Structure 1
């Protein structure tokens, strides 16, 4: 779509009249996204009322281990959900779709029925490194100790979905808000389950899933609307990285409808089809890192640039788009439902939309609804969509940019005139003092002249020179800024579509390693390592420490060879060995000759102190 195409504006908000709601609905239908799924996807967007009708409502009672059932499956409606949410607003509420997971026989019968479409995974282990595979193995073993969805839940949820939730009816829950010169069109999609782990070898499963797409229309100076930005809910993106410009070449369109490639089982959005390496952050290491980072920032300025996430596990997120699609040009169509802050079940129910597993890692717990986070706080994306997408500093249209540049130019011209006056005043004062000092020097003794020069160095003369220098620096910078604005009047600036991105999410390259040896090694490496550790523990050939070091070196060498990086690995190991040898040699010299080392340190300290004291004495003369 041409970004210069504009549509008339339509007002709206809570309590809007029928005409306004019709206008909002027309805007939503004009830009509603197309979502394409991966072949093998079990759960597509469904109606919340059908889901609620099959779910039970539970309350976590403070101080008690057993939860209270407020409504059994078949007893709940959206109206009752809102009422119970209002009644127990301070308590932890959650829905539970699956009362009893399928046992082994039922699960095998479900598989024989062909309920699960075929899916051909790629070698996800080949796409991540050895360390990630080790952590992945540890997490999978820890599933037995974590609060997670029990086995057979996916199959039971799918049977309920197919039987009771009209799987061929696909609503989205839409909201229109206005702020900062933007009209935000929010599309919320509800899925009965996230089965990323059990179906597609991801990291988590949980009952219920809410995802969203937000399209931002910029209000032009004439009052019409122009599509400007689009933001998909995603795993790794926050702030500026969430959004893409409407003319971004990564976005595919069907007419005016952007295409979203949904993650298999995870339902997160991607702009380009393919397979992505997604890093799932580990909660506790990153909390510890955040605390350390906050402490470090007070004494280490560079700590401000430390990454927010230091510990995470990479997984493959499939966004192939080779499965079913919904929207313009697809066999399935959307059914829009308008929501806002006054929608009772949106506003009153703060609980989770699926089983609360009490998973301390967070990934296995069901999500809250469109308006709330799991802790009951209002979502930033709901309360302030413009700020959530990092658009507070982005003007809505190019016309607004031209007006704002002219406003800035007027301020620059006024400030430059003020600076010119300030420079003249300080320059005249400095010259007057210089003339006075020279006159006094001509009629005083040598000592008196020396005192005058010292007064000139410590009095207004020095301060005046520094002030004038600072004003000249500011003047130069502002003149350059004004010159750029003047040039922009005839040659408007053109910014690259990806200029605002810190990290552009891209799928794995088509030529990513898929060799047979790498695939076999990546699948077997963790088992080989565990077996090697067992052998070292039982009978270390050259001592436990050196045997472990040799095992790790061998594993890393095989990993490097499988990825075609053996030469680089050998060079890295050679450099690391040289550094370790040098450090150990230095330590040995210091240990054997500790007296000489201590004396050298003391002499160096005395020299440093002497130089510092001499400098201080010279400056006070």
Structure 2
């Protein structure tokens, strides 16, 4: 298909578009689960219902009894209840699990030193998170092996469909490719954050409709961990995107299946909800008390993990050993529309990461996904025109409005300028010849000031609009060219070759949490210089070793010196105030008197 063809809005036309641009997905060596057919999956899963007000869940259908038709029917019947599929009833343990490992079911995978890529605090949080898995409703590690055995023996492991939807909105044709995986094994196989039964991922390609009705590829968006809005999408000519003909290449995350544009290893940060809420509240307080701090950038707390997008494993699509099968879905597809439940085990994990996802149309809470309801808005394209031709037309429309507005402003300036001059002439005449001319002096001064401020505002608007119109005129002969990454707030890039990989750092990062816990235990048992100072010394020593391992010891020493000086200054000030409270109170009162005096003088001068 030629990219400039006019494609009819028919099922055959939609399938032709989907085949012309279907992505190529490359996986990391060691990947256990590839996209599979949903009917094969549900045929091996049981369907469960969480009954409101009851602790025990009800089994609606056993494995082997569920079909897509029944899934839709039960979803419609229990639309208000929490439904979920359960693939694995009994995780592998003991000898069975060891036999699965010996069978070579899991290909070899050589991880990086993921702890070396993150800081000491992140490693501490990571350790606490892993300990908390014992108390949370998590998917146990043996589920991976049991799910994999079902996948390779009963789910047509060589059949790789994508569930595609075509929508048209705002001058764009959105081609959505949804992929279903039997399991997300990011944690158990690749030391990531979570495991959960089932996984839905997607790629969306946006074609811009030209003025003559033909279609041209404009944007592509991969589902990813950290990106939202503008950061989700990339321009079709982005140099980060690799193509096989007209097919963009997606580097899927190992176990997580999230998409990346460049192959490599990425640091993915999982935000911490409660610390970020506290930090947001503290920022509001600081910005209220300190006006000059209002423009400080916002930061979020999170746990970094390594997400492997190496692309050295199996691949699906054009030029790869495995091929896609196209399946069209839409809002009339019964299992998509009527089943709002989860596609795997509902662990009731309050953190959300260990719960199975809902389907392509719904979020876990049963609401429609923004990416399904409004793909154009989801990708931040409401403000982006589909093609360069649209941009030229819109610029000319804007130029026409600007010319009209400039004419209105010029006329308004003339009227107000004449009124101000008439008032000035009258004021001078009254000053010279009228008795009691000073009686309305304040009122005339206010009218003069208002007229001057209005004319100044109009002149400022006029200047800005003239510059905008001049830019549009110049664009007629030389259309503007924007850099491919101009719309990105944060460009996701893999770790570079100079990322920390030194042997000492790798050893220290692996042992640091254990060393710190052992040090805390020794301090608790027998603090050498008092409990508080011993803890402070231990933390300083740990941070110093961390800084040395990363080649930042000088910066760390300078920072500690600055912090020590600030603490010493604060403590000294507190000491002075405590010992000489009268002088401190007098200084505060004198400062308050000066502030009030300056404010009152300024208010008095503005009325003169």
Contact 2:210 2:390 in 1 (8 A): yes
- CA drift of 1:440 comes to 1.3
3-state SS of paired residue (2:198)? strand
- CA drift of 1:583 comes to 1.3
Contact 1:286 1:308 in 2 (8 A): no
Compared CA separation, residues 7 and 340, structure 1 to 2 (3 A): closer
Q: Which digits, 9 at most, give the CA deviation of each residue in 1:314-350, with x for residues without a partner?
A: 0000000000000000000000100000000000000
Inter-partner Cα distance in structure 1 for 2:20 and 2:120: 47
Consecutive unaligned residues of structure 1, counting only runs of 5 or more, are 9-19
Compared CA separation, residues 596 and 332, structure 1 to 2 (3 A): same
Inter-partner Cα distance in structure 2 for 1:345 and 1:472: 61
- CA drift of 1:271 comes to 0.2
Inter-partner Cα distance in structure 2 for 1:128 and 1:185: 37
Compared CA separation, residues 127 and 437, structure 1 to 2 (3 A): same
Inter-partner Cα distance in structure 1 for 2:187 and 2:577: 54
Q: Counterparts of 1:571-582 in structure 2 under 5 Å?
A: 571-582=558-569
- CA drift of 1:310 comes to 2.0
Contact 2:218 2:387 in 1 (8 A): yes
Contact 2:430 2:437 in 1 (8 A): no
Compared CA separation, residues 249 and 5, structure 1 to 2 (3 A): farther
Contact 2:196 2:345 in 1 (8 A): yes
Inter-partner Cα distance in structure 2 for 1:580 and 1:245: 50
Inter-partner Cα distance in structure 2 for 1:450 and 1:61: 79
Compared CA separation, residues 191 and 299, structure 1 to 2 (3 A): farther
- CA drift of 1:572 comes to 1.2
3-state SS of paired residue (1:351)? coil
Q: Please name the residue that 1:551 is paired with.
A: 538
Inter-partner Cα distance in structure 2 for 1:456 and 1:537: 73
Contact 1:441 1:449 in 2 (8 A): no
Inter-partner Cα distance in structure 2 for 1:322 and 1:192: 21
Contact 1:282 1:361 in 2 (8 A): no
- CA drift of 1:573 comes to 1.1
Q: Which digits, 9 at most, give the CA deviation of each residue in 1:226-284, with x for residues without a partner?
A: 00000000000000000000000000000000000000000000000000000012233
Q: Which digits, 9 at most, give the CA deviation of each residue in 1:126-155, with x for residues without a partner?
A: 000000000000001111011101231000
- CA drift of 1:490 comes to 0.3
Compared CA separation, residues 452 and 262, structure 1 to 2 (3 A): closer
Contact 2:266 2:306 in 1 (8 A): yes
TM-score if structure 1 supplies the norm length?
A: 0.94
- CA drift of 1:614 comes to 3.4
Q: Please name the residue that 1:68 is paired with.
A: 58
Inter-partner Cα distance in structure 1 for 2:238 and 2:2: 11
Q: CA RMSD in A?
A: 2.2
3-state SS of paired residue (1:145)? coil
Compared CA separation, residues 59 and 580, structure 1 to 2 (3 A): same
Inter-partner Cα distance in structure 1 for 2:294 and 2:76: 42
Consecutive unaligned residues of structure 2, counting only runs of 5 or more, are none
Q: Which digits, 9 at most, give the CA deviation of each residue in 1:378-399, with x for residues without a partner?
A: 0000000000000000000000
> Which of 10, 16, 19 in structure 2 is aligned with 1:26?
16
- CA drift of 1:222 comes to 0.5
Contact 1:187 1:214 in 2 (8 A): yes
Using the TM superposition, name which of 472-481 and 148-157 deviates more. 148-157
Contact 1:3 1:247 in 2 (8 A): no
Q: Which digits, 9 at most, give the CA deviation of each residue in 1:155-203, with x for residues without a partner?
A: 0000000010011110000000000000000000000000000000001
Inter-partner Cα distance in structure 2 for 1:252 and 1:107: 39
- CA drift of 1:223 comes to 0.2
Aligned length: 607
Q: Please name the residue that 1:14 is paired with.
A: none
Compared CA separation, residues 306 and 167, structure 1 to 2 (3 A): farther
Contact 1:6 1:226 in 2 (8 A): no
* 1:214 and 2:204 are equivalent in the alignment: yes
- CA drift of 1:69 comes to 0.1
TM-score if structure 2 supplies the norm length?
A: 0.96
- CA drift of 1:438 comes to 1.0
Compared CA separation, residues 522 and 214, structure 1 to 2 (3 A): same
Inter-partner Cα distance in structure 1 for 2:50 and 2:258: 29
Compared CA separation, residues 614 and 538, structure 1 to 2 (3 A): same
Using the TM superposition, name which of 552-561 and 479-488 deviates more. 552-561
> Which of 289, 294, 301 in structure 2 is aligned with 1:299?
289
